[in-house]
Amino acid sequence: MDLHLKDKNIVITGAAGAIGRELAQRLLDEGANLVLHELDESSLESIAAEAQATGRTVLTVGGDVRLPETQRAIAAAGAQLGGVNGFAPAAGIYVAHPFAEMTTEQWRTTISINLDAVATLTSTLLPHIRDNASLVYFASIAGERGSRNHAHYAATKGAIVSFMRTIAIELGGRGIRANAVAPGIIESPMTNDLVAASDGELERATPLGRLGRPGEVADAVTYLLSQRSSFISGAQIDVNGGLYMAG
């Protein structure tokens, strides 16, 4: 299926993470040009090297995504490509802290990375976002159901959906679409400790009986970035094997 992503310019943050890396590869396979961000820019070297063989343009940006100078560098890279057709802010953290023991600093760190940086980077990119672009945000099953020991994370993911829907309303007149994917428990370094502690409970609670794979989330994001989803906006797509239904 042609997803009509050839020569489209897509910005991905957290691009060296499990989902971000899979997403970058899929978009390269579809012929897109990329701006890839990661805290440690050197972690993007292998992706950039692979892209050179495809003839696609890949620009990389390193730095703390919360910082204005990092956000300006990401926006400048998007402008260098000629404007932004798609945006997928995958950068985020998932750290366990029981709420009764959570410090103000722990709360603010998660909020600043998972929510504040997403909003401010969207604003910084906005002058370079083309009409009919697609913005795909990362929600979570935690934003729907809550998550033990992750009150800060769950709060950011619930807020991301409200933010995304407001953006969809405000920018829809330009043909810009905004949607979100809500992963469940995905096999990745971010969830290793959680999965180990659950002793199989998470798999048993999931109707499909297994954990998700990063590529399955990347597939959903790629679809939402593409023109194949041209009349979908303000939607949250659950990519969690039915876990959101589990009691």
Tell me which of 94, 137, 153, 223 is the catalytic residue.
153
Eight-state DSSP code of residue 240: S
Q: Where are the alpha helices (DSSP H) in 137-233?
A: 141-145, 151-171, 192-198, 201-205, 214-225
Question: CA 214, CA 23: separation in Å to the nearest integer?
Answer: 9
Which has the closest alpha carbon to 229: 240, 219, 239? 219
Q: Distance of alpha carbon 116 from its chain centroid, rounded?
A: 14
Question: CA 157, CA 175: separation in Å to the nearest integer?
Answer: 25
**Residue 94 bears catalytic tag:** no
List Cβ neighbours of 39 (8 Å cut-off, separation of 6 or more).
62, 63, 64, 65, 91
Which has the closest alpha carbon to 113: 127, 129, 93? 93
Buried b (16+ CB within 10 A) or exposed e, 204-226: ebbeeeebbbbbbbbbbbbbbbb
Structure tokens at 139: 């929600």
In whole angstroms, how far apart are CA 39 and each of 3, 67, 239, 241, 244? 30, 11, 26, 30, 31
Residues annotated as catalytic (active site), given as ranges:
153
